[in-house]
Amino acid sequence: MYQDQIDIKTPEFVSLQYQVAGLGSRGAAMLIDQLLLIITNILIYLVLVMTNLSNAFYFADSWLPIAIAIAVIFFINWGYFFVCEYFFSGKTLGKKWVGIRAIQENGHSLTLLSSLIRNLLRIIDMLPSAYFVGMIFIFFHSKHKRLGDIVAGTIVVHERRAKKEKTSRIDKEIKRRGLTKESLQLEEWAIKSLGDKEWELLKAYSRKFLNVKLTERMRLTKYLAEKLFPKVGIEIGGKHFTEQENILLTLYLIARDEWEYEL
């Protein structure tokens, strides 16, 4: 049992276990992110120099280039964290490298609002410099939260590795059908709609798929298709039973990459 392991009960009454990311792993991720941002800021400065826009800084009334440069740098330095965490499952490049991610306290992925709040409050966590306030909060908080996490209701946890098992019967069946995650082209919003509740349904479906009679499998397929297809923007009408199965098995592959982990 990990010392910082926590149990999260989702609104769907699914119990999830996570290992909370501490100051060391979060600090390492931040160092990587800051290094990337420093490189980006230097490149922006070099572009300004090369285009001779930097010469405008020497004139008191030439405030527009300064304002544009400050706005661009602010957007990149703040927007980087917000965009990465919202669109890439709570992971910046630094977090991905270290193997941690930000999630909501209920186990769900970050929402637009929670990502916005936790990253806006970086301004306070950074005070007086080098994330001093944030480090103090992380060090003393029982769940290693900085101020942004407390207000936004988020938590940073270790990314768990996918379980390595012998090829299961359902994997063999999926391979026999020639299905991969790329067999179904979904929009980003549709992929994000596959939360832990949908994963539990798809996981249960995959377990029963080859272990029930055909009539029972048809009933399960029809039930799950009616429940999940509208959620990801797929029309159920006119689709043959086998096609519905293939779509559900592909959704299972997509959701498994996000939700099937071990500590």
- CA pseudo-torsion sign 89, 74, 124, 29: positive
Cis status of the peptide bond prior to 128, with omega within 30 of 0: yes
Give 197's contacts (C-beta < 8 A, 6+ positions apart). 10, 12, 14
Q: Give the model's pLDDT for residue 263.
A: 39
Q: Are strands 100-104 and 154-158 parallel, antiparallel or unpaired?
A: antiparallel
What are residue 156's DSSP bridge partners? 102
* Phi, psi of 155, rounded to the nearest 5 degrees: -150, 145
Q: Give the model's pLDDT for residue 219.
A: 92
pLDDT in tens, the chain (263 residues): 345 777 766 655 556 678 899 889 999 999 999 999 999 888 877 777 676 555 555 544 556 666 777 788 888 888 899 999 998 889 999 999 998 999 988 878 899 999 999 999 998 988 888 888 989 999 898 889 999 999 999 999 987 655 555 568 888 999 999 999 888 888 878 887 887 788 888 988 998 998 889 999 999 999 999 999 998 888 888 888 899 999 999 999 888 877 665 43
